[in-house]
Structure 1
Amino acid sequence: MRTEGAAAPAATPAPPATGRVAAIAVAALTVAAALFHAFAIGRDPLWMDEACTWFTIEHGAAAAVTGERSAGNPPLFFLAAWASTALLGPSEAALRLPSLLAAVALVPLGFLAGARYAGRRAGVVAAALFAFGPLVHHYAIEARNYALLMAEVALYLLALERALRPTARPRAWAAVALLLAAMLYTHNYGLFFLPVSVAAAAVGALGRPGAWRRATAGSCLAAAAAFAAYLPFFVRALGHAQSAVTEWLLRYWEQMSPIGMLAWSFTTFGVGGTFPDYLGTLGRAPSAGIAAVALSLALPLCALAGWPRGDDERARARGVERAPRPSLAVLAVLALGPLVVALGYSLAVAPIYLPGRYDTIALPPFVLLYAAGLERVARTPAGWPIALAVVVFTVASHGHAFDPPAASKDRLAALHIAQRARPDDVVVTTGYRRCVTAYYLRRAASPVEVVSFPSAMARHPGWYSERLFLEDRDALASDARAIAASPHAVWVVRSTHDAVNAFLLDALAAEHGADAASASEALGVERFARTATRDGGTR
């Protein structure tokens, strides 16, 4: 009978050849992932969210830390992007490099975590899924914080496994606390992970009363320490949570129930599913429909149920005693828990849950469960067709990854203006068009001044509420008059928010004349210039 605190039984060492094969496979997958991501890292122009990253760090690293332009987002990814662009110069590839490095690191990290929670073979399968997973690739080439967040979660899984060992020392929980803090410093969604991290530690130590008490206490202290380190950014995020930052999510919430949202998350974490339209080329990928949904739900359940059981029985018959691992239920708690907490917040306070985006904090534990289930099922007579289906679905999901580079209306508008504007002209961007336009104007070395209409958009260019702006028509009129008072030519980069833009266009029409020859209807660009009056002045 085993006593509390006794050393864990040692696993029969795997044959050296098996370990070498796994190491070679993971190394090859890591190189392949790096090449795959690098192929596309600088191909497409920046889109709005990525340009917001540039906008945040345009005036240096301090702006990311102080929150001057971060719209409530914590600073860690912005600091990485600032360092990358400071080293390599401003470019699409430099802005995206931290994401690429994080996604490449996810391959060996996924293998190590998979090996510790589900065995070496499952670890290799997990490494392959992280190397070529559609959602991982999408965020590997996007200048946002999601790939970094996923890599931090993978590291957290390794730290948690070490902290749950019977022989672990209390300082093991310091590593857990550090990684929880890193998640919070990367994305505010880390808040939803904190309570779940305590639950996961408790589940991992079930059946061992002394270990359970230590795990619960250690995880609580780790979560508390991480939150204390994050507190200044929590206060900032709380202020932005009261804004209209999540209004754009409402149309997705109107189309689907909370349970549907949850199922959609797991489908996007896997392969072959229907991806949301805000995920670029993934939104156009062919879908396997119900087959992809079935795989995304069935494979993790197979892992949790230990089906098929034959392999474990054969191992026992050979006298192989496997090293105890944290229960796969730990992964289930970490894959499901943050999503349930975020859904609860979305229902009680404001929608903040979005499949394939903010929920990616739960992707690494889900992929490990998916890999563990796939590795088990692949050893059954029906397993190879299922494994082949996963490969086919993965390839199909990347079908548009090799399309010609996407055209960017904002980039073309910026180039149109840069070729025609005088240095003292003013460029007014409306709606969401500020960041991309400003980025490409700077890349074109154009010295023109760029301002936002309404002026509040300069503080939060990544979210827009036409409803709130129209509630304060006096402020809109004041902003419009200030712009129209410019003695120089004014370029307007229009959005589709016509009711708000009308204040600006009316004010400009009263003070300036429209320059149709310099305008571009297709790009949403207009130019207004003061015209000479009969007495020699200007209007």
Structure 2
Amino acid sequence: MKTPYNRSITTAPQSIRTLCGIALLSMVLIGFSVRVYLLAAQSLWYDEAVSWYLTQMSLPQLTTWTAHDIQPPLYYYLLWLWVRLVGTSEYALRFPSVLFATLTLPLLWQFARRLLGTAGAWLTLLLALLSPFHVYYAQEARMYTLLTLLGLLSTCLWLRLLRTLYRAAPAPYHGLLPAIGYAITMAAALYTHYFAAFLFAAHLIAWAWIGWRHALSRSGERSGGAPRPSPTRAPFISIAVAALLVLVLYSPWLPFLIGRYAQDTSYWPGRLSIVEMARRLFLTFTMGETVKEAIAMQLAPGHGIILLISVAALLWAGRSVVRAAIPPRHKGNKSSASESGAPERPPADGDRFSRRAAPPLLLSCLIVPVALVLFLAWQVPKFNPRYAMLAWPAFVVILAGGLAVLIKGKPTNGIGKKWLPRCVGILAAAFVLSTSLYSLHNWFLPYRDNQFNKADFRITAQIVRERIKPDETVLLSSGHMAPAWAYYYGWEGWHPLPAIETLDVGAILDLSVGDRLAHILAHKRGVWLVRWQNEITDPFDVLPLWLSTVGEQDDYGQFWHMELYHYRLPSQMRFDLEHVITHPVRALVGGQIRLLGMRPRLQQCDSPLRISGVHGDGQRCMALALVWQAVAQVEEDYAVFVHLRDGAGIAVANGDHLPARPTSAWPIERAFPDQISLKLPPEMPDGSYWLEVGLYHPHLPELPRLGPVMLEPSGELQPGERVIVPIRVQGGQVG
């Protein structure tokens, strides 16, 4: 006779079930309150602004955009409909993520109850409710909580499908209805994010693992002399139908998935460290995004030990269920349990099947997506822990399940009746919850530490809007920030440089942007420069150099990852290269890189435009812009040496450094200003000096210099593989 699933629940008194429902509803409401608290406190950042930007398009335009973007369109479709009902405020844009995250909580409780029992389900819900990782992305207008919800729902349906298929005697097509439901949910997840394919792979691997273990348990039952049931193809038919239906539903979008990452220009070339990515992922899963690196590394060993203990306890509990499902063998296999008079054990279906399936299903749903995300990021060097958010539910259930085994005190062989495992479980749960509360404390005090704040486009745009004059304009140093800026400032009165719609690490500003500036700033008497992620699109600080050359900076501010400058402009401005280079050189170094000249000037070391980051309490520094130009493809990454020497040849200041962008990445025939700041000695007298400049191999022994160095057009070779430029310091000026 079969034991129905949740028999203890269905036969429980009505009052107990009512209290259970009230407790579940109360905890879900608490989870909702945590996720909606201070929802609009911080500014929208770039990714969220892109979500808003797409809602301003028509549906055909939105579809075309997402076909060429790194995320498919389902979340944007839902948000498009939502904003037409409630508007586009920060609160309204983020609320769907809160809703998806809140719906995940009761579903996660139900999923954990199937796999772990009641105690494990409540602990899972508590850990998820206070998870800083989940709360953080519940307050972001992006698709990650929808992806988590759909991924968890598909996993629940997959478990139900397997339970249906591996009953004692399933009908040939008994699992087709769950298979169809699973296919629809998984296809929806794939239309939300491409990485849902990794969870699909995890489900198939879990099915193979569970099927193998199920076959072993059945063979154990048959060894006692029970009649051998005829084999059935129902599991394979239903699984094949589910997989095929997923592909059919997703086939219209499949070509975009295949070609997407070959076209992505938003990452640096090279390789990322798998160990470093795994470390970041573990810290984020356990402590979220709002614990400082140094503190997180101190807490990480504790979380690692707790995770290992949880996995071991869960595997032990699953092993005990498998052993309990197999009848004892008698000598010679001559008699079965029924023949010996022992009570017949129920078949491995219902609740027992779910418990046996817990370790393979949870470990597959955790390890497979994480491993595939790390492997893809190693191949295509673009990574963020949120890309593996599909694995977060399995992580929480594993953690809670193992701790529940220890706390409940009833695992196999009575080991849980001892006080030590129970104390370990309670202390471990307290440690996890306390670190979660600490992380949430950091997150809900957004103006306490800038490290945890998002880029503040809101206050930056507000200041510019309040202070800008009719004869002034705005420059954005990263064109891809346009959606975020437009959300707060509007679409008029600003210019993106470079003019790119999405992040492109190859779109680097060089000095030729002066022609564009001449057109934009014609007849203007002032300009506001807004900088964000300028290390990507303006790593050489081309815009500040041009604007400080033709105008005068008179205002500066920083607003959480944003920089704001204001420049007064004269009536006549020149944007030619000769105006930037005050000391022309034109020397070819190693036949690969040309030094066109330099622009030295004196300033206070605490200037906000310093490049090297030196501070001097009012001490003078020499700001130096070296204008380089690659004349051929540079194969190696060179370092720059700069020595300031007095008339006697004694070094007064040194400035060895790596350029803002590796020399191997310099486009040919484009001029870049390599800017550094030399800290000058106190009371350095006026007089004649000379600058010694060149390139060298920073990774080779003895640091050999790149040569030969040849002056153009004379062809004269310079000794010592260096360029020597005489200068004169007089009255705070460099001539």
Q: Which runs of 5+ in 1 are unaligned?
A: 534-539
SS of residue paired to 1:107: helix
Residue 213 (structure 2) pairs with residue 222 (structure 1): no
Alignment partner of 1:13 is 2:8: yes
1:418 to 448, 461, 465: 465
Map 1:210-359 onto structure 2 (within 5 A). Answer: 213-243=233-263, 245=265, 247=267, 253-254=272-273, 257-258=274-275, 261-262=277-278, 264-270=280-286, 273=287, 275=288, 279-280=289-290, 288-306=299-317, 323-326=351-354, 327-328=357-358, 329-347=360-378, 349-354=379-384, 356-359=385-388
Once the two structures are aligned, what percentage of the paired residues are identical? 21
Equivalent residue for 1:536? none
Q: Partner of 2:515 in structure 1? A: 481
1:469 aligns with 2:511: no
Superposed CA deviations along residues 202-235 of structure 1, whole A, max 9, x for unmatched, are: 3333325988854344334433433443344443
Confirm or deny: 8 A CA contact 1:378 1:386 kept in the other structure.
no
Are residues 10 and 181 of structure 1, via their aligned partners in 2, closer, same or farther at CA, if it must alter by over 3 Å? closer
Unaligned runs of 5+ residues in structure 2 are 219-229, 328-341, 410-418, 448-452, 574-735
Answering whether residue 492 of structure 2 is matched by residue 448 of structure 1, we say yes
SS of 1:323's equivalent in the other structure is helix
The one-letter code of the counterpart of 2:261 is A
2:74, 2:192 within 8 Å by CA — same for their partners in 1?
yes
In 2, Cα distance between equivalents of 1:222 and 1:526: 60
Structure 1 match to 2:717:
none
Give the AA of the match of 2:408: R
- The DSSP-based 3-state class of the residue aligned with 2:93 is helix
Calculate the TM-score normalised by the size of structure 1.
0.80
Which whole-Å deviations, capped at 9, do the CAs of 1:451-505 have from their partners, x for residues lacking one?
Answer: 42222x22x1xx341xx234x96xx84x663453235645432343485675556
Q: Distance in 1 between matches of 2:279 and 2:253?
A: 31
The residue aligned with 1:156 is 154
Residue 169 of structure 1: how far off its partner (Å): 2.7
Candidates 473, 482, 487, aligned match of 1:434: 482
Q: Which residue of 1 aligns with 2:175?
A: 169
* Separation (CA, whole Å) in 1 of partners of 2:179 and 2:186: 10
- Residue 428 (structure 2) aligned to one of 386, 392, 400: 386
Query: C-alpha separation between the residues in 1 aligned to 2:38 and 2:60?
Result: 30
Q: What are the superposed Cα offsets for residues 324-354 of structure 1, whole Å, 9 maximum, x if unpaired?
A: 333111121111111222333334x313454
Q: C-alpha deviations, 1:161-195, integer Å up to 9, x for none?
A: 22112354312111111111111111111122232
> 1:280 deviation in Å?
4.9
Q: Which deviates more from structure 2 when the two are superposed, residues 177-186 or residues 86-95?
A: 86-95
Aligned residues: 497
Partner of 1:537: none
What do residues 409-457 of structure 1 show as CA deviations (whole Å, max 9, x unaligned)? 4333212221234679653322364333222113xxxx524442222x2
CA contact (8 A) 1:246 1:351 kept: no
Please give the secondary structure, in 2, of the residue aligned with 1:45.
Answer: coil
Paired with 1:281 and 1:62, the residues of 2 have a C-alpha distance of 41
C-alpha RMSD of the superposition = 3.8
Matched, 1:524 2:564: yes
Q: Partners in 1 of 2:231 and 2:47 — Cα distance?
A: 44
Aligned amino acid, residue 391 of structure 1 = L
SS class of match (1:205): helix
Letter in structure 2 aligned against 1:344: F
Conserved in 2, the CA contact under 8 Å of 1:198 and 1:216? no
**C-alpha contact (below 8 Å) 1:99/1:142 kept by paired residues:** yes
Structure 1 pair 69–86 and aligned structure 2 pair: CA distance change class (3 A): farther
Q: Deviations over 1:241-281 (max 9, x none)?
A: 12454526979x34xx44x64465345334xx5x5xxx356
Q: Choose from 73, 78, 100 the match for 2:71.
A: 73
Structure 2 SS opposite 1:13: helix
Question: C-alpha separation between the residues in 2 aligned to 1:67 and 1:374?
Answer: 45
Confirm or deny: 8 A CA contact 1:102 1:148 kept in the other structure. yes
Give SS of 2:8's match: coil
Work out whether residues 302 and 308 of structure 1, in 8 Å CA contact, stay in contact via their aligned partners in 2.
no
1:22 equivalent in structure 2: 20
CA pair 427-368 structure 1, distance change in 2 beyond 3 A: same
Distance 2:280 2:436 in 1: 17
- Separation in structure 2 between the aligned mates of residue 307 and residue 223 of structure 1, nearest angstrom: 27
- Give the drift of 1:117: 1.9
The structure with the largest strand share of the pair is 2
CA–CA separation in structure 1 for the residues paired with 2:86 and 2:44: 17
Q: How far did residue 392 of structure 1 move?
A: 2.1
From the superposition, tell whether residues 135 and 430 of structure 1 become closer, same or farther in structure 2 (CA, over 3 Å): same
- Mapped contact 2:291–2:439 kept (Cα < 8 A): no
The change in CA–CA distance for 1:407 and 1:214 in structure 2 (over 3 A counts) is closer
Q: Cα distance 1:69–1:340, how it changes in 2: closer, same or farther (>3 A)?
A: closer
Q: Which residue of 2 aligns with 1:492?
A: 529
Describe the SS at the equivalent of 2:445. coil
C-alpha contact (below 8 Å) 1:81/1:96 kept by paired residues: no
> Bigger CA drift: 219-228 or 48-57?
219-228
| Farther off after superposition, 196-205 or 65-74 | 65-74
Paired with 1:386 and 1:133, the residues of 2 have a C-alpha distance of 15
The correspondence for 1:110, drawn from 100, 108, 112, is 108
Letter of the 1:401 partner, please give it: W
| 1:365 aligns to 2:412 (yes or no) | no
When normalised by structure 2's length, the TM-score is 0.60
Which structure has the highest helix share of the two? 1
1:120–1:453 distance in 2 versus 1, CA, 3 Å:
same
Query: Which one-letter code corresponds to 1:78 in the other structure?
Result: Y
Q: Which of 32, 35, 47 is the aligned partner of 2:33?
A: 35
User: Are the aligned partners of 1:112 and 1:123 in contact in 2 as well (CA < 8 Å)?
Assistant: yes
Does residue 179 of structure 1 match 2:208? no
